[in-house]
Amino acid sequence: MLSTLAPIVDIPRAGVDPINTTTEKLGIFALALRRPLHDETIALFLDQHRHGVGLFAFVSGKPLTEVIDRVIGAAINIEATAAISLLSSRSGRGRDHRDASQFFMAKNRCADAGLWLDDWLLVAEGDVFKLG
């Protein structure tokens, strides 16, 4: 399964190379993703020029709306953070019918903190899904 989420050869350098594509994000996330899969959310923090300025893992099987405050707390401690991209992994289960509403609520919480929630990706059951 994880052969579909392998690091790309040319990983964007933190603070130097812009991160513009989902493929570039997945390459970075693949470096931090625990194997075998566990319930976790990895947050990639980007500055206003789309350069990576932080990468944090939050181990939790809780819904995104319960994890997003911890993500925001870490992001606001890095002054350059303007945007956040997320990747969640779920061991043993795939998409959930609440994912769209979870993303919408998390996006609003980020906006309230002055941050842009760019996207939310999910690795589960042998595939990668774009949830937001």
Q: How many angstroms separate the Cα of 25 from the Cα of each of 62, 119, 129? A: 23, 10, 13
Domain boundaries, the chain: 2-130
Q: Dig out the tokens for 126 from the structure.
A: 């042998």
| Confidence category of residue 8, pLDDT binned at 50, 70, 90 | low
Site of tokens 């998409």: 95
pTM above 0.75, yes or no: yes
Q: How many angstroms separate the Cα of 129 from the Cα of each of 30, 58, 60, 95? A: 14, 19, 19, 8
Answer yes or no: is pLDDT of 71 > 90. Answer: yes
At residue 7, the pLDDT reads: 52
Q: Dig out the tokens for 106 from the structure.
A: 């998390």
Answer yes or no: is pLDDT of 91 > 60. Answer: yes
| Superfamily, domain 2-130 | Cytidine Deaminase, domain 2 (3.40.140.10)
Instruction: Mark residue 113 as left, alpha or beta (left: phi above 0; alpha: psi -120 to 50; beta: remaining).
Output: alpha
At residue 2, the pLDDT reads: 45
